[in-house]
Amino acid sequence: MTEKNYVPFTKEMISEYTILAPNMLPIHFNIVLQFMRDRGYTVDLLTEDGPEVAETGLKYVHNDTCYPAILVIGQFMRAIESGKYDPHKVALVYFQTGGGCRASNYIFLLRKALKKAGYDYVPVISISFDGLEKHPGFKIDIPTWYKLLYGIMYADLIMALSEQVKPYEKRKGEAAELADKLSLEVAAHMKGGVGGKRAEKMMRDIVKRFAAIEQDRSVKKPRVGIVGEIYVKFSPLGNNNLGGFLVENGAEVVLPGLMNFMLYCVYNKVEDYELYHRGNWFFYQAVKIAYKVLLSKQKSIAALIEESGIFRAAEPFDEVVDIAEKCIGRGCKMGEGWLLPAEMLSLAEHGTPNIVCTQPFGCLPNHICGKGMMKPIKEHYPNANIIAVDYDASASRVNQENRIKLMLANAKVEEVR
């Protein structure tokens, strides 16, 4: 340990250590981790699922702790104890928001679990926009963040198009195969630089290749939006492969992308200054510029999708911001905060009235801003068909799926207004 009470990841470790990462967004993480490999890191994505992961997590984390923490720590500890890796040559990496919810304690809980198991010498790399910790061997400068931003945009595009094709593809699994293939191609493409006409050409190619998949759209499938706490919203492990279950049961999944959450985080920095007078004027101006740049890039991708004449683009984030005012103030920003009801409102407004709100059991921000906002959302959109599903180590998967099937039995097919 250092005087800062954590083991830093040093420059010397880059060539010797394997970095383990949990799997929250398969497409996004495949692109980002391949990008890291190209920069000289050895990185493995942990894909183990099943009840053993949660059981292992519960050995080291109290069962009242946030479910995502139980799963992530369970995955890490099972990997270290598997014998596949030398514990003295392995490091762990996880994203830390730095916000006020329990997610900010993940890193501490992970280090506590490692110490309990006798692995307190294992470095845990905390990634955050706020730079909460320093790791000499794992520095992310502005050009790297810029490339990672493009990686997220590519991944959001691939994920959105894949979900729109899956229910209609004639050869089952073709969209998923193409998504996996494109993840590798995008990572290789990013080595040559990002941005400008080069990025636009790559994105057009992605749209074209998904459009080329043979589909049968003679029967319109009900669209089901997935919203909620960021981990259980995206992670197949966290939500018991909710997306696959919905497709198997005749639905088309609509999954707001990670870029929305990124914009939400940046936009909240603007709100901090305007609502609470936090921060200085120069930082405020810089954040406003960053927000405008991100929003313009999101809109440019939406325009490419709409040009296809086949696929739908998600609503730009500034519209999501505006629609939030129907139900909630933007000062409510703990966890997913106002973004959660705003995404539900946006889905209902644009032809996706069927929504599954995923939340870890006991997640206060999501119970208030998710389940707690369902009534006012339905007052604005009486046709909204929304259910909240709790995910927890002790929750019954059969019960969850039966409730989702009941929602699907009442699912509505609507045209975009």
* Averaged pLDDT, 165-173: 97
The confidence band for 334, taking pLDDT boundaries of 50, 70 and 90, is confident
- C-alpha separations of 338 from 114, 335, 353 in Å: 35, 9, 19
pLDDT digits (tens, 9 = 90+) for 253-276: 999 999 999 999 999 999 999 988
8 A C-beta contact, residue 384 and residue 378: yes
pLDDT digits (tens, 9 = 90+) for 271-323: 999 988 888 999 999 999 999 999 999 999 999 999 999 999 999 999 999 99
* Averaged pLDDT, 151-164: 96
All structural domains of the chain with their residue ranges: 11-138, 220-257+314-409
pLDDT digits (tens, 9 = 90+) for 55-75: 999 999 888 888 999 999 999
Residue 196 pLDDT greater than 90, yes or no: no
Tell me what pLDDT residue 100 has: 66
Mean pLDDT of the chain: 91
Report d(CA 204, CA 395) in Å as an integer: 42
Report d(CA 284, CA 290) in Å as an integer: 10
Report d(CA 129, CA 398) in Å as an integer: 38
**Right CATH number for 11-138 from 2.40.50, 3.30.1380, 3.20.20, 3.40.50?**
3.40.50
Shared fold status for 11-138 and 220-257+314-409: yes
| Cα distance from N-terminal residue to C-terminal residue, the chain | 58
Angle between helices 51-60 and 67-81 (to 10 degrees): 100
Alpha helices in 195-257 (DSSP H): 196-211, 230-234, 242-248
pLDDT digits (tens, 9 = 90+) for 200-240: 999 999 999 999 999 999 999 999 999 999 999 999 999 99
* Structure token digits, residue 291: 């927000």
Report d(CA 340, CA 322) in Å as an integer: 13
Share of the chain above pLDDT 90, in %: 72
Tell me what pLDDT residue 3 has: 41
Question: 220-257+314-409 — its CATH code?
Answer: 3.40.50.11900
pLDDT digits (tens, 9 = 90+) for 12-61: 999 999 999 998 899 999 998 988 888 899 999 999 988 999 999 999 98
Residue 257's SS3 state is: coil
Report d(CA 353, CA 30) in Å as an integer: 31
State the DSSP string of 42-61.
Answer: EEEEE---SHHHHHHHHHHS
Residue 156 CB-half CA count within 13 A: 21
pLDDT digits (tens, 9 = 90+) for 93-146: 987 665 666 666 788 899 999 999 999 999 999 876 665 678 899 988 888 888
